[in-house]
């Protein structure tokens, strides 16, 4: 499936992708890479937390069911370190377990289905723009530093 990349990439293009299923991880990585996102992957929550602590990612996409900590436990741990991080939770158990944004801590919850890729792309694009919009003070500071360095 070939998706057309947007002409203007969102500012928040770095993304941590977490899934214990190698084929699911590879498929999501391929789609998001085609759209211009820089993807770092982890196959479990513990490794994801290690990577997150090394480099605070503005966006995280995680599966729910994984060995060890599940996706909701990962979300809680990330929120303790960086509450502003935007997070998408993907699960095949959304309906059966009643998983919502409110009870999971995620900014978006996606059901694994035939529409999953489209929903993922929409959620990531929407949240990356929101992440970029939440960082105007940082952008202004960086711009001031760049201008003062150039003068």
CATH number for the domain including 143? Answer: 3.40.50.2300
**Inside any domain, residue 4:** no
Say how many domains are in the chain: 1
* Confidence at residue 93, expressed as pLDDT on a 0 to 100 scale: 80
**Inside any domain, residue 7:** no
**Inside any domain, residue 9:** no
Confidence label for 62 from pLDDT (cuts 50, 70 and 90):
very high
Range of the domain at 121: 14-150
Mean pLDDT of 59-68: 96
DSSP reduced 3-state for 20: coil
**Whether this model's pTM surpasses 0.85:** no
**Inside any domain, residue 8:** no
The pLDDT tens digits of the residues spanning 130-146 come to 665 544 443 333 333 33
**Inside any domain, residue 38:** yes
The pLDDT tens digits of the residues spanning 29-61 come to 999 999 999 999 999 999 999 999 999 999 999
The pLDDT tens digits of the residues spanning 6-23 come to 434 445 589 999 999 999
**Inside any domain, residue 20:** yes
Q: What residues form DSSP beta bridges with 39? A: 15
Distance of CA 25 to the CA centre of its chain: 13
Q: Which DSSP letter does residue 83 get?
A: T
**Inside any domain, residue 1:** no
Residue appearing with tokens 């960082």: 135
* Confidence at residue 33, expressed as pLDDT on a 0 to 100 scale: 94
Q: Is the dihedral of CA 145, 135, 30, 66 positive or negative?
A: positive
Summary mean pLDDT of the chain: 82
**Inside any domain, residue 6:** no
């Amino acid at each position: 499936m070939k998706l057309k990349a947007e002409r203007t990439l969102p500012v928040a293009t770095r993304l941590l992708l977490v899934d214990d299923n190698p084929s699911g991880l590879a498929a999501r990585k391929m789609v998001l890479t085609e759209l211009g996102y820089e993807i770092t992957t982890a196959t479990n929550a513990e490794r994801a937390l290690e990577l997150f602590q090394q480099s605070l990612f503005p966006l995280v996409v995680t599966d729910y069911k994984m060995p060890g900590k599940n996706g909701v436990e990962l979300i809680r741990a990330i929120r303790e370190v960086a509450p502003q991080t935007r997070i998408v939770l993907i699960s095949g158990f959304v309906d059966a377990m009643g998983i919502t944004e409110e009870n999971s801590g995620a900014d978006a919850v996606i059901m694994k289905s035939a529409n999953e890729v489209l929903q993922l792309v929409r959620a990531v694009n929407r949240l990356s723009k929101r992440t970029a919009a939440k960082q105007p003070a940082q952008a202004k500071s960086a711009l001031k530093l760049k201008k003062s360095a150039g003068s």
